[in-house]
Structure 1
């Protein structure tokens, strides 16, 4: 089984995440895409995050009707802050017959050389890269790498930050979220 790991805080998960994940699941050699809900990224301030299980609940609600998309809480029990290399090692140990790949936006690929043990990640895992809008495309050392696969996915200019700020300002963001995620956010009064 080939599994693509889509890491994120998903604070909240939105239709852009689903469009990209579903596109990759349907148009690549991956069998499934797991949404790995990260408890705390070493690059983000923790104070802006909803509770881990509230974000996992939103991912569960967003993916429950898609057979190839699954929520994953694997990082909740790993030491924090956690690094991708540790998660990959843990998953490989837990699921020895699975092949794990990373899914990332091309903006993340530009800084991939700063990741902990990035050479080891690249040695043992494939990376599927979806396009992002950026002012100038930076040529990277990873161009043409045999384990890095650019995916011709739709470009989604939608961010969780934009959604949170819009909710705070009293704007209607309902079309940007899966219906059951919107209902949960509204019911729980998140981000207001």
Structure 2
């Protein structure tokens, strides 16, 4: 049985912080693989700064090429929008009925708001959650602190954001060290976020 951590995000663009956290998860927890689930652009929310799905997927593909335990996933591209995590989990369970045990990966900041998620109790009953540290305000709900399904992984705190990268790249700053080389090359060639 392969234990797969699902790391959801827009990855707009994927950066070294994402890679450091996901690699830490597969090397220092029970996870065998981490799948980067690229969140599609919601047809109801067109953000000018959000690149097309296929471009963001391509950057994740290129960023993870040298890491056999890290994989890109476009599983949500064909699900009805707006989509909820519970729907993706159900869909994955149908698509991979055997051999895979899916878990969620989330930052501590997301865990603080987890009680607002659709069907969060059902998710907690059926899935494990691997939490990495983030610097953020607010308290973690007591029901998650000692929950047997919630595992805190002492990963490095990465305070790099895609928003910062996009903004500073547009301002002409050199953001290359924050990106995997292949992602920088793709971004530069395609003239993204200028």
Q: Is TM > 0.5 for Structure 1 vs Structure 2?
A: yes
Looking at structure 2, the residues matched to 11 and 140 of structure 1 have their Cα atoms a distance apart, in angstroms, of 32
> For 1:177, which of 158, 176, 179 is the aligned residue?
179
Q: Is the 8 A contact 1:2 1:101 kept in 2?
A: yes
Question: 1:130 aligns to what?
Answer: 132
TM-score w.r.t. structure 2 length?
A: 0.95
* Alpha-carbon distance change, 41 to 2 in structure 1, aligned in 2, over 3 angstroms: farther
* Alpha-carbon distance change, 43 to 144 in structure 1, aligned in 2, over 3 angstroms: farther
Moved over 3 A (4+): 40-47, 135-140
Q: Is the 8 A contact 1:40 1:82 kept in 2?
A: no
Question: 1:188 aligns to what?
Answer: 190
Looking at structure 2, the residues matched to 69 and 129 of structure 1 have their Cα atoms a distance apart, in angstroms, of 17
Q: Is the 8 A contact 2:41 2:52 kept in 1?
A: no
Unaligned runs of 5+ in 2: none
TM-score w.r.t. structure 1 length?
A: 0.96
SS in 2 for 1:47: coil
- What's the Cα RMSD here? 1.6
Report how many residues are paired: 192
SS in 1 for 2:57: helix
* Alpha-carbon distance change, 33 to 94 in structure 1, aligned in 2, over 3 angstroms: same
Question: 1:81 aligns to what?
Answer: 82
Looking at structure 2, the residues matched to 139 and 117 of structure 1 have their Cα atoms a distance apart, in angstroms, of 16
The residue correspondences of 1:1-192 to structure 2 (distance < 5 A) are 1-40=2-41, 46-97=47-98, 98-135=100-137, 137-192=139-194
